[in-house]
Structure 1
């Protein structure tokens, strides 16, 4: 399916040489063919850029490849990618994950048919070296009061109208939003009156191994808490919402095995329809 409206996929890549080919292949295999992939290497120390270059050579009309002079982190890297976007819709994708073949087709179809929504996300399914694991659901129609309690969208699954992304001036680049650039974007998204929706189907496979959990440091949790405090204040929510600002810190000190057990229990509840 060619499709009328082009999708610009933003992918910041960093030290993901071992997984990048699978990620890009999952985009090439999409049933929706009208897309462009904008890759930006953020100072990788492995062969990430070389892997990306081979795809650029093979698909010169579909892939844009950029390279930062030094590591500038994800928010700035994605903003760099966005400068080259020409599609009506902007989508996200990470270099160690996978998109199911019909992901873009279903997301574009939804946005084309529902102009009242500015963004469409999806459920995710976790996987690791042993295979696919649990489904990670998310609220179908999140509202601004959900933000302090949980992330309203799985960041890597989203597709957004480019005009909305540009109106929000993309991701905020600051020490405050490091590792929480998506949460900051959602606060500004709802503060400006936009609406988003989540497809109740896992159209995205997210890698969840030990290394994934190890990348989440206590410093990042503190920064995420500050983003929540700032966002709650910007939305002028009642005082009781501030208690949720400690949630990232609590999550950080929770053992990995307990997090996985909680996730598994939630998955079982979803399967039973509780």
Structure 2
């Protein structure tokens, strides 16, 4: 069987959503063969049973990987990518959805654009019940690595199809809690990102690692900081460094405000606002939030 696309799904304790995710892929109509590789990171709910049910139903398409111990998201991603036989890999998180026509559309784009290593698209934001909340859109076009740094991220991980030529040694250098954006950056060194201004997938909000209860998971801003710090350590022109500092300052300030508003990790809040001010002052609100750092924590959090 000549498999041209490997759909790689990573999942952990997503029994509420995984059946919908898998069915959204298996309902796709294509003129090529594809496989669905599902990496279950030793879930403690009924996730494994759901996968086994689909394996019985689609034995020639579904390829399960059942980890005996929890190995974490990066190792789980590695496991499914390494198993992939397709010319292209489509990444899908276990709580997101592929909309009709997605696989064929992206496959055709990749086949017609050999200078592009990644194809992405607009997404529909949905809540836990599947209701549309808002949209995640971006202009159509081909974008390079520099653009990605200045617009990080302009696409969802679950919208990404890419060439199956990944150098897996790179994963070994990643932080144990690395973000998907750090993987995007490495891949974008090889060619363009072709973005489609078409809503071909659904991204589920407020159910994944982005949030811990009502608070923001610190791994998100910390991952973005790693990405920008690494770029700024490279040899750059004065103009490149100036542009990056501006974007970096805005990202860290935005997250600092999120952390303050939600009462998330106080130490991360302090780290973010200090970083933002050190990079570039672009609004007086930065100064206000920065001055709060010098007040006792109990007073800062009561002022929210």
Q: State the TM bucket, normalised to the shorter chain.
A: 0.7 to 0.9
2:80 alignment partner in structure 1: 81
1:111 Cα deviation (Å)?
1.1
Pair 1:43-2:42 in alignment: yes
Contact 2:123 2:136 in 1 (8 A): yes
Q: Quickly say closer, same or farther: Cα 1:138–1:177, change in 2 above 3 A.
A: farther
In structure 2, distance between residues paired with 1:234 and 1:68: 38
Pick the aligned partner of 1:26 from 24, 28, 31: 24
Q: Distance in 2 between matches of 1:226 and 1:30?
A: 37
Which moves more between the two structures, 41-50 or 135-144?
135-144
| CA spacing shift, 1:219–1:111, aligned 2, 3 Å | closer
2:184 paired residue number: 186
Q: Is 2:210 the counterpart of 1:208?
A: no
Structure 1 residue 109, shift from structure 2 partner: 0.9
Alignment-derived partner of residue 242 in structure 1: 245
The answer for the alignment partner of 2:158 in structure 1 is 156
Deviation at 1:10, TM superposition (A): 0.8
Deviation at 1:113, TM superposition (A): 1.6
The residue number in structure 1 matching 2:125 is 126
CA contact (8 A) 1:97 1:205 kept: yes
Which digits, 9 at most, give the CA deviation of each residue in 1:150-199, with x for residues without a partner?
Answer: 21432111111112xx2x3276256636251x22222222334x111111
1:44 is paired with a residue whose SS is coil
TM superposition shift of 1:63: 0.7
Q: Relative to structure 1, is the Cα distance of residues 127 and 218 closer, same or farther in structure 2, using a 3 angstrom cutoff? A: same
> 5+ unaligned residues in a row in structure 1: which ranges?
257-274
Root-mean-square deviation (CA, aligned residues, Å) is 2.6
3-state SS of paired residue (2:175):
helix
Q: Distance in 2 between matches of 1:253 and 1:73?
A: 29
1:21 Cα deviation from its structure 2 partner: 0.4
CA shift in 2, pair 1:249/1:210, >3 Å: farther
> In structure 2, what is the Cα distance between the partners aligned to 1:111 and 1:219?
32
Q: From the superposition, tell whether residues 66 and 210 of structure 1 become closer, same or farther in structure 2 (CA, over 3 Å).
A: closer
Q: Contact (CA 8 Å) 1:222, 1:248: kept in 2 or not? A: no
Provide the residue aligned with 1:61 in structure 2.
60
Distance 1:25 1:171, change over 3 A: farther
1:14 corresponds to which residue? 12
CA 1:210/1:119 → structure 2, altered by over 3 Å: closer, same or farther?
closer
Partner of 2:280: none
Q: Is the 8 A contact 1:78 1:171 kept in 2?
A: no
Unmatched segments (≥5 aa) in structure 2: 263-304
Partner SS state of residue 123, structure 1:
strand
SS at match of 1:160: strand
Contact residue 89 and residue 160 of structure 1 kept, 8 A: yes
Shift of 1:232: 4.0
Task: Quote how far apart the aligned CAs of 1:14 are.
Answer: 0.3
Residue equivalent to 1:221: 221
The CA distance in 2 between the partners of 1:5 and 1:64, in whole Å, is: 13
With over 3 angstroms needed to count, the CA separation of the structure-2 counterparts of 1:133 and 1:170, relative to structure 1, is farther
TM-score (norm 1): 0.81
Quick check: which has more Rg, 1 or 2? 2
Q: Mark the CA change 1:249 to 1:93 in structure 2 (over 3 Å): closer, same or farther.
A: farther
The count of aligned residue pairs is: 249
Residues 89 and 164 of structure 2 are in contact (CA less than 8 Å); yes or no, is this contact kept in structure 1? yes
